[in-house]
Structure 1
Amino acid sequence: MPDDQRPRPMGFVVPMGGDPQSVRQRVEALEMLLERSFRIPGINYPVGLDAVVGLVPVLGDVVTTVMGAYLVWEARNLNMPRWKLWRMGANVALDTALGLVPVVGDAADFLFRSNTMNLKIIKRHLDKHHPAARMIDG
C-alpha cells in the first residue's frame, strides 16, 4: 500500500494528492469528523467535533472556523467559481457568528451544519466537472 494511502488511526484513508478524487475523499472525511463523528445515545442523533468543540468558549469556535475554512480552501484549489466560494464562506461565517452567541450558539451548532452544506456544493461541482472523481456512496 502506498504511503499516502495507508489507513489513519480513525480507520479511514486520507489521500494526500491534488487530484479531484483525493480532494473529494479529504473533504468527505473532514465533514464526517466535523458533523457526524458519533451519535448521541438514546436519541441516535449524529454530532461531530463542530458541536462538541464549539462548547468551549471562543477557542472552540476559532478551531471549528479554521477547519470549516479548510473546506473552502480545498474548493478554491479545485478552481470552483467565485460565487460558490463566497456561498461556502458565508456558510462558515454564519456558523461562526451563531457559535459566538452563548447557549444559543451551542444549540445552533447541533442544527446548522455549514460543513455538510459546503460538502454538497463541492460534490455537485465535482460530479459535474470531474465525473471520474465520482464515488459510490455506501
Structure 2
Amino acid sequence: MANTASLDRLPLDCDPAAIRRRIETMERLLERSFTVPGINRPVGLDFIVGLVPVIGDVLAAAMGSWIVWEARNLGMSKLQLARMAGNVGFDAMLGLVPFVGDAADFFFRSNTRNLRIIRKHLDKHHPGTVTLEG
C-alpha cells in the first residue's frame, strides 16, 4: 500500500492556488532550470529538448500546451487562451527551423509569457493565490 501522506503534499487540487503552483513549477522547469556558464543566462528543458530536431520541439510544445490546458481549467477567456496557444505555436514553429529555432528558444520564452498572462488573471480574479517571491 502506498504511503498516502506523501501523496497528500502534491498540489493536485483544482483550486486556483494549487493550479498556480503547478504552472509556476512547470514554467521554472521549462525556462529557468539551469544557468549557462559564462553568460549566466538561465535556460530550461524547453531549450535543451529543443536541440533535438523535430521530436524535441514537439515535446517542448506539448509541455507548453499543458500550461495552456491548466489555464483553461482556471476558466480563463478564449482570447487569453488563444493568445497563450499562439505563444506556444509560434515557439514551436520557430523551433522547427534549424539553428534559428534554437536561438529563438534562448530569447523567446513562450512559457514565461504565458505565466505572465495567467498571473495577471489570477491576481485579478483569485487574489488569495498571490505568492511573494524572494
Task: Name the TM tier (shorter chain).
Answer: over 0.9
Question: In the alignment, does 2:98 pair up with 1:102?
Answer: yes
Deviation at 1:2, TM superposition (A): 5.5
Matching of residues 1-138 of structure 1 within 5 Å: 3-5=7-9, 14-138=10-134
1:30 counterpart letter in structure 2 = M
Deviation at 1:83, TM superposition (A): 0.3
TM-score, normalised by the number of residues in structure 1:
0.91
Deviation at 1:3, TM superposition (A): 2.4
1:39 counterpart letter in structure 2 = T
- In structure 2, stretches of 5+ residues that fail to align are none
**How many Å separate the matches in 2 of 1:100 and 1:62?**
9
TM-score, normalised by the number of residues in structure 2:
0.94
**How many Å separate the matches in 2 of 1:69 and 1:3?**
25
Q: Which runs of 4+ in 1 moved over 4 A?
A: none
Which deviations, in whole Å up to 9, do the C-alpha atoms of 1:14-71 show, x marking residues without a partner? 5111100000000000000000001001111000000010000010001000000001
**How many Å separate the matches in 1 of 2:6 and 2:62?**
29
**How many Å separate the matches in 1 of 2:24 and 2:74?**
15
Deviation at 1:4, TM superposition (A): 2.9
Number of aligned residue pairs: give it.
130
**How many Å separate the matches in 1 of 2:42 and 2:129?**
27
CA RMSD in angstroms, aligned pairs only: 1.0
